[in-house]
Structures are given as structure tokens and as C-alpha cells.
């Protein structure tokens, strides 16, 4: 660490502070006397990810939809599990839907007297969504009753993590502005390490998943309402 400080012409404390910040973001893993880059698995395009663990995501979506009543104001992100939830809401009426997802907008816009607010900006074609600074500023204006979010990875020590910088930033906004957060996450997300941190486990109000939690995650989500979708 001292060698790095000398090379960059900064103090040891500056290096320690910056390493702490990178660790919190999930970019590095601290080790004795130094740090290493975190190994992560990158996600594929939306169409590919929609097919992964599809049965589990459908069960999660059906359970999550029970938390949305007619007239609710909701934010729905662009993750695949969230897209599954949106499809379960097509019978709800008079929803106010805020989203950055073209898929969600297509499923819930223009029906049942819904109001739709779609974030714009530069589109990510892999995600079929908008998550640049323009989209982030737009979504930050709203205060939804409920945010329905997905996640790339859940680490017991680090918390909730994602792989796309824009999507991670969008999640942080939703956690900060929503009255309650419902996280839909299938069992494959637990124990994974993502590229960057989005929130703490304690920030989740409702967790909907497909299998009972291991002890370390049960402890981490002890504060939340945990639903095991059947």
C-alpha cells in the first residue's frame, strides 16, 4: 500500500480511503497488504436472460404481484424478474407505472386506465432499457409507493450487487425514493458477487424468492418480509 501511495504521490490514508470505496462498490476485494479485482460473471442480453430460471421467475412474479393493488404507484426496473412481474399485472387497473424498461412499458402502457412514465435517454439494447444520466434524473423525480426491483447478485458480506453501472445507479435511486422496496430474486442470485454494490440487505422491505434461504441470508434478511414462492 505504501508503494502504491508513493507511485501515485498521495498519502497512505488516501489509498486506504479509495480502496474502501472500491470495496464498497464491489470492484475489488481487500486482502492483507493489498487488494485484487473482484471476479464477476457478466450478464447476457435480455432475451437470453428471460429464459434463464424462467419457471422460478414466474413463480416469484405471481407472488410479487399480490403486493400490487389497483391504483398503486409503482416503479419497475428492467431486470428479467421485474419483467415477469409486469406481465402478472396486466389485469390491474389505474396503475401509475414508472419504469426505464421498454418491455415493462409495452406490457403495462395503454391498458386499464394506467398512467405510464417511461424514462428516456440513450437506450441499452442488451437490456432494452434506459439507464444513463438522463434516465436517472427522470426517475429520481418520483416517489413511488412500491419499487419492484431485481438484482444481479446477492453477497452476504457486501450486499446487493449488479453488473451494469447504469442499472446499478437506477437501483440506488429506487431504494432512496420509494416508500417500500420489493426485491424479486431467484436462488441462483444468492452467493454470487457482482461488479458493483447497489444497496444493503437491510434496505429491502419484501424479498420474494423461490427457495428457503441459507442461514447467513436468513439472518441478513431477518428484518424483511420473506416470501418463498410456491
pLDDT single digits (tens) 71-109: 999 999 999 999 999 999 999 999 999 999 999 999 999
Same domain, residue pair 78 and 16: no
- The neighbour count for residue 70, using CB atoms within 10 Å, is 11
Decide which of 163 and 94 is more confident: 94
In contact, 114 and 108? CB cutoff 8 Å: yes
Q: What percent of the chain has pLDDT over 90?
A: 71
**Cell matching residue 87:** 406481465
Decide which of 192 and 175 is more confident: 175
Q: 3-class SS at 201?
A: helix
Give the pLDDT of residue 41. Answer: 46
Give the pLDDT of residue 124. Answer: 86
Which CATH number characterizes residue 58's domain? 3.40.50.1360
What confidence category does residue 42 fall into, taking pLDDT thresholds of 50, 70 and 90? very low
Residues 10-26, mean pLDDT to the nearest whole number = 65
DSSP string for residues in 25-94: HTSEEEETTEEEEPP------HHHHHTTTHHHHHHHHHHHHTT--TT-EEEE-SSHHHHHHHHTTTT--S
**What are the beta bridge partners of residue 130?**
123
Same domain, residue pair 75 and 10: no
**End-to-end Cα, the chain, rounded Å:** 50
Same domain, residue pair 8 and 81: no
Residues 136-142, mean pLDDT to the nearest whole number = 98
DSSP string for residues in 141-169: T---SEEEE--SEEETTTEEEES-HHHHH
| Spatial distance between the Cα atoms of 195 and 54, rounded to a whole number of angstroms | 23
User: How does strand 73-76 pair with strand 123-124?
Assistant: unpaired
Same domain, residue pair 79 and 10: no
Is the pLDDT at 212 greater than 80? The verdict is yes
Give the pLDDT of residue 53. Answer: 78
Same domain, residue pair 29 and 66: no
CA atoms within 13 A on the CB side of 40: 24
Same domain, residue pair 6 and 99: no
- Provide the number of structural domains found in the chain: 2
Q: In 3D, which of 106, 72, 111 has the Cα closest to residue 91?
A: 111
Same domain, residue pair 9 and 121: no
Same domain, residue pair 196 and 126: yes
Q: What is the dihedral of CA 6, 11, 13, 18, to 10 degrees?
A: -70
Lowest mean pLDDT segment, chosen from 49-58, 75-84, 178-187, 210-219: 49-58
Give the pLDDT of residue 126. Answer: 82
What confidence category does residue 52 fall into, taking pLDDT thresholds of 50, 70 and 90? confident
Give the pLDDT of residue 13. Answer: 73
Same domain, residue pair 112 and 144: yes
Give the pLDDT of residue 61. Answer: 98
Give the pLDDT of residue 32. Answer: 62
Q: 3-class SS at 183?
A: strand
Is the pLDDT at 36 greater than 90? The verdict is no
Same domain, residue pair 133 and 24: no
Domain that holds residue 18: 2-37
Same domain, residue pair 22 and 50: no
Q: In 3D, which of 92, 91, 85 has the Cα closest to residue 58?
A: 85
Give the total residue count for the chain: 230
Same domain, residue pair 67 and 172: yes
Give the pLDDT of residue 33. Answer: 62
Is the pLDDT at 14 greater than 70? The verdict is no
Continuous segment of H or E residues that includes residue 182: strand 180-184
Amino acid at each position: 500500500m505504501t508503494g502504491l501511495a508513493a507511485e501515485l504521490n498521495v498519502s497512505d490514508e488516501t489509498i486506504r480511503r479509495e480502496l474502501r470505496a472500491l470495496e464498497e462498490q464491489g470492484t475489488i476485494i481487500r486482502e492483507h497488504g493489498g487488494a485484487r479485482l473482484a471476479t464477476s460473471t457478466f450478464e447476457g442480453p435480455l432475451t437470453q436472460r428471460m429464459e434463464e430460471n424462467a419457471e422460478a421467475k414466474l413463480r416469484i412474479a405471481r407472488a410479487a404481484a399480490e403486493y400490487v393493488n389497483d391504483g398503486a404507484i409503482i416503479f419497475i426496473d428492467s431486470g428479467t424478474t421485474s419483467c415477469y412481474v409486469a406481465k402478472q399485472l396486466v389485469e390491474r387497473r389505474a396503475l401509475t407505472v414508472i419504469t426505464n424498461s421498454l418491455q415493462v412499458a409495452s406490457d403495462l402502457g395503454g391498458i386499464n386506465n394506467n398512467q405510464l412514465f417511461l424514462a428516456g435517454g440513450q437506450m441499452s439494447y442488451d437490456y432494452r432499457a434506459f439507464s444513463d444520466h438522463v434516465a436517472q434524473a427522470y426517475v429520481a423525480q418520483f416517489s413511488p409507493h412500491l419499487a419492484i426491483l431485481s438484482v444481479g447478485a446477492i453477497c452476504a458480506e457486501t450486499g446487493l450487487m449488479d453488473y451494469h453501472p447504469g442499472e446499478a445507479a437506477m437501483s440506488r435511486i429506487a431504494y432512496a425514493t420509494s416508500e417500500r422496496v420489493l426485491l424479486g430474486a431467484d436462488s441462483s442470485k444468492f452467493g454470487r458477487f457482482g461488479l458493483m454494490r447497489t444497496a444493503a440487505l437491510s434496505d429491502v422491505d419484501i424479498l420474494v424468492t423461490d427457495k428457503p434461504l441459507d442461514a447467513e441470508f436468513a439472518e441478513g434478511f431477518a428484518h424483511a418480509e420473506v416470501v418463498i414462492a410456491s
